[in-house]
């Protein structure tokens, strides 16, 4: 009997096994995850879950009954230690399991601060999984001071939640501005204003020299020579694709586990999807860290295992929730040379162009601009900058 083994029980892994069964795959399906919980949503972890607004049961992507009813074997709390691509086996402890197809949906791991600068002190957290947030929650008490290291979306979301919980928040970003790696200055300006209006002490061009404390973190020395008293630290300085298993098995890496357009890796019968996988995109190779990509890419791999021979066509989109602002991003802004701002008061959007070509849209509390921008980008159409810049301009007319 054919046997598909999926390593990594996150959004991509759960989507892959569900698609196999929904697509009529009749062989054996095994989903293996190192965490003890069933596959769950990660975006609410640092927001609704930490705030106490969403219980764990509502976080699960699918109930236990789904896996049972669809004859999907879920192995939680287990770690694959080796892959043998020649023998087509994976090793879990003392057990060796054979596969006919293997899917790597191993995700990514958060970058941590080195122990040499205090990264291993108690009270220093990353935000990636359930255990991280469960460990952090007791430290997030009203009146305490939280230091957020990193001004990307993870850091900014953490700052917003800490503010809502009544903590004093200091955020440091070593680059000249927050969101420098991923957004235009206009978007950075918008979120800087948002956070400072909520009382965040936001310091750009300032890095962390070291954390101090005896056991528990109690202080931080910054690169501008200042020192802070802190009660906890949340680190949001990016993530690294989890490629160790693939690398040890001799599978080709290139900014993650390299796949072809259909999700195949360099090893026969081994596929990859989600945060851990890089794939061809236009004239480049990219890796997308987003829930929509994890779902769509994993479902494409499942279809290809069943013989679809279908290329994965990425339609990049992302979102971020901070305070009462929902940011929705369509497209990729890489290579932009100018930005047009549409200011509708409470609703704002920032449109990225390379010459006359529309590349991406950052829409803050502006779902209409986001949806129209997304449709234009996917259709390969551009947007008249004059219409975009006019808050009364008819965006929808540009779809015709």
The CATH code of the domain that includes 258 is: 3.50.50.60
Q: Which of 26, 34, 27 is nearest to 7 (CA)?
A: 34
Average the pLDDT over 137-151 and give the result: 97
Q: Which residue has the tokens 């791999």?
A: 301
Q: Determine contact, residues 113/130, Cβ cutoff 8 Å.
A: no
Tokens, residue 366: 């502006």
Q: Whose structure tokens read 């023998």?
A: 87
Q: Which residue has tokens 């769509």? A: 296
Number of domains in the chain: 3
User: What pLDDT band is residue 202 in, cutting at 50, 70 and 90?
Assistant: very high
- 228 and 254 in a single domain? The answer is no
Whether pLDDT at 291 is above 90: yes
Give CA–CA dist 329/336, Å, rounded: 15
299 near 287, Cβ under 8 Å?
no
SS3 278: strand
Q: What is the pLDDT of residue 206?
A: 98
pLDDT given for residue 177 in this prediction: 98
Confidence check: pLDDT of 373 > 90 = yes
pLDDT of 400 > 90? The answer is no
Question: Are 57 and 205 in a shared domain?
Answer: no
Q: Which domain does 134 fall in, by range?
A: 112-235
Mean pLDDT to the nearest integer, 183-202? 98
CA 315 to chain centre: 15
**3-class SS of residue 314:** coil
What's the mean pLDDT in 144-160? Answer: 97
DSSP one-letter code for 264: B
Residue 91 token pair: 């090793």
**CB contact set of 298 (below 8 Å; sequence gap of 6+):** 11, 12, 13, 15, 16, 19, 103, 105, 273, 274
- Are residue 12 and residue 74 in the same domain, yes or no? yes
pTM (predicted TM-score): 0.96
Amino acid 21: pLDDT: 98
CATH, residue 345 = 3.30.390.30
How high is the mean pLDDT of the chain?
97
Look at residue 319 and tell me if it is in a domain: no
In a domain, residue 121? The reply is: yes
Give the pLDDT band (50/70/90) at residue 46.
confident
φ/ψ (deg, to 5) at 235? -100, 120
Residue with tokens 């005896």: 214
Strands 227-229 and 219-222, how do they pair?
antiparallel
- C-alpha dihedral (203, 288, 315, 265), degrees to nearest 10: 170
């Amino acid at each position: 009997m054919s046997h598909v083994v999926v390593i990594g029980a996150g959004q991509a892994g759960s989507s892959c096994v569900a698609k196999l069964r929904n697509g009529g795959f009749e062989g054996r399906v095994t989903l293996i995850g190192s965490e003890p919980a069933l596959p769950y949503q990660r975006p609410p972890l640092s927001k609704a879950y930490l705030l106490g607004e969403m219980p764990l049961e509502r976080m699960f992507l699918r109930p236990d009954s789904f896996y049972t009813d669809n004859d999907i074997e879920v192995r939680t709390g287990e770690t694959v230690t080796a892959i043998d691509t020649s023998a087509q086996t994976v090793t879990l402890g003392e057990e060796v399991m054979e596969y006919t197809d293997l899917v790597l949906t191993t995700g990514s791991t958060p970058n941590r601060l080195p122990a040499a600068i205090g990264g291993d002190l108690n009270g220093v957290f990353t935000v990636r999984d359930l255990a991280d947030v469960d460990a952090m929650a007791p430290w997030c008490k009203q009146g305490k001071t939280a230091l957020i290291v990193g001004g990307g979306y993870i850091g900014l979301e953490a700052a917003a939640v800490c503010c809502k919980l009544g903590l004093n928040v200091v955020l440091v970003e070593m680059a000249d501005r927050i969101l420098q790696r991923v957004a235009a200055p206009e978007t950075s300006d918008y979120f800087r204003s948002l956070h400072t209006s909520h009382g965040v002490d936001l310091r750009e061009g300032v890095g962390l020299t070291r954390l101090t404390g005896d056991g528990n973190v109690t202080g931080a020395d910054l690169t501008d020579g200042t020192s802070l008293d802190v009660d906890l630290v949340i680190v949001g300085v990016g993530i690294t694709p989890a490629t160790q298993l693939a690398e040890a098995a001799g599978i080709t890496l290139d900014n993650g586990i390299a796949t072809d357009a259909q999700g195949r890796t360099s090893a026969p019968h081994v596929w990859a999807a989600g945060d851990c996988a890089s794939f061809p995109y236009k004239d480049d190779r990219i890796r997308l860290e987003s829930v929509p990509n994890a779902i769509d890419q994993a479902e494409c791999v499942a279809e290809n295992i069943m013989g679809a021979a279908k290329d994965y066509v990425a339609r990049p989109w992302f979102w971020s929730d901070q305070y009462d602002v929902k940011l929705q991003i369509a497209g990729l802004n890489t290579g932009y040379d100018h930005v047009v701002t549409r200011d509708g008061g409470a609703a704002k959007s920032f449109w990225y162009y390379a010459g006359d070509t529309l590349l991406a849209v950052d829409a803050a509390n502006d779902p209409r601009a986001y949806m129209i921008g997304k449709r234009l980008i996917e259709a390969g159409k551009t947007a008249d900058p004059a219409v975009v810049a006019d808050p009364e301009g008819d965006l929808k007319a540009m779809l015709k």
